[in-house]
Amino acid sequence: YSDEYLRRAVQQSLSETAHTWYIQTQQEQLFNSWRQFKQLCIRRFRTSEKIESSRGRSYSLWQSDNELTADYFELLKSLKSEIEPQTSTVYIKRKFLQKLRKHIRDKMSLGFTSSLSDFVQKAIEIESSIIQQKN
């Protein structure tokens, strides 16, 4: 994709604060390329305080009794990418499995060689089956 396309596309996904910052930096012509924008954005929004906060939340994160597996996975993935954007899928799968509710974790039969999406989908299917059995 071209720099122009990426810069236009990213505007659609920014939070209100980030979008305001984007407009201001664009008006001040602080970046001319996608690469420059990424560097500015990381410096502005990926602070050591935010990383430490995410790390703390990650350590104490467990899937709660009423939390859907898909929601739990999205939160875990979000925290891990905040801490280390290049987190390996094997690491995410391991942490996901480790912190799933026990009755789901015990029924997981897929190994770490499965794709991340298959791994998560299997946990969601197990969760659905457990919910159906309760009803």
| pLDDT tens digits, 120-135 | 999 999 999 999 998 7
What is the Cα–Cα distance from 86 to 92, expressed in whole angstroms?
11
Q: Which is nearest to 96 in space by CA: 65, 61, 51, 52? A: 61
What is the Cα–Cα distance from 111 to 36, expressed in whole angstroms?
40
In the chain, the percentage of residues whose pLDDT exceeds 90 is 40
Q: What is the mean pLDDT of residues 56-73?
A: 93
| pLDDT tens digits, 4-44 | 888 888 888 888 888 899 989 888 888 888 889 888 888 88
Res. 82 pLDDT band, cuts 50 70 90: confident
Per-residue tokens: 58: 């990650």
What is the Cβ-side half-sphere exposure of residue 34, based on CA atoms within 13 angstroms? 11
- For residue 70, the model assigns a pLDDT of 96
What is the Cα–Cα distance from 78 to 74, expressed in whole angstroms?
6
Domain positions in the chain are 3-45, 48-134
Per-residue tokens: 103: 């009755």
